[in-house]
Amino acid sequence: MREIVFDTETTGLDPSNGDRLVEIGCIELINRIPTGATYHAYFNPERDMPAAAEAVHGLSARFLSDKPLFRDKAQELLDFLGDAMLVAHNARFDFGFLNAELERCARPAVDLARMIDSLTIARTLHPGAKHSLDALCSRYGIDRSHRIKHGALLDAELLAQLYVELTGGRQIGLSLVAESMTTVDVAQIDIVAQAADRPVRTARVFTASAAELERHAAFLDKLDNPLWRDGAAPAGG
């Protein structure tokens, strides 16, 4: 199963009010295991950068001025996403900006049926707790000491670790789907196959026979008042 964990940085909170996507970072998972494949890009938003937004991610209008426009990288991004399920934290926010940018360049929106919201999962698992990415990383012991400001690829990397923990940790299920097998899956299948080839042996019987019980009783008769025989019937009794 292929999934893409992604995060975005923007100029603000609402694409319908002119806010734009300025960065996206994506991490590929196969059967919840990172493959090492990533996608990362900055975009020129063709507008100013509000101070409040720059304080969050550190991306200035000057830094972004020579970066490509979203429409120039759209196909490259869509090729990386493919038809995978897409995981984001507070996913409607990220999907809203992604689809707004796709609409601006006359491309079809990403189907919301592909959306997996890790925030919803966290709220279900930990009602009443804090559900920010920082708080959840602390809960699950995920190191974020290198996170000074928000950054799309770094946040996607942290979220990928968190998503694995939220969906069962490292206990990856055994997959028998050939096209999505990992090295771990193949090793597990080999162990199961080897076990299936072993001959079936009749279960060993560990109950003492009548002759063995008789010999044991005769041995006890030779002992002087054995404590462990208190209350037991004498041999032959």
Domain with CATH 3.30.420.10 in the chain: 2-170
Average pLDDT of 28-32? Answer: 97
pTM of the model: 0.70
Average pLDDT over residues 109-133: 97
Look at residue 110 and tell me whether its pLDDT is greater than 70: yes
Mean pLDDT of the chain: 85
Residue spans of alpha helices (H) in the chain: 51-57, 61-64, 70-81, 91-104, 118-125, 133-139, 152-166, 183-197, 210-221
**Rounded distance, CA 14 to CA 90, Å?**
14
Can you name the CATH fold of 2-170?
A: Nucleotidyltransferase; domain 5 (3.30.420)
Which residues are catalytically annotated?
150
Asked whether the predicted pLDDT for residue 68 surpasses 80, the reply is yes
Q: 163-219 pLDDT, tens per residue? A: 999 998 765 544 443 344 343 343 443 444 444 445 555 555 567 778 888 887 788
pLDDT over threshold 90, residue 80: yes
Per-residue confidence (pLDDT) for residue 211, from 0 to 100: 86
2-20 pLDDT per residue, tens = 999 999 999 999 999 999 9
235 alpha carbon, distance to own chain's centre? 65
Q: Tokens 């991610």 appear where?
A: 57
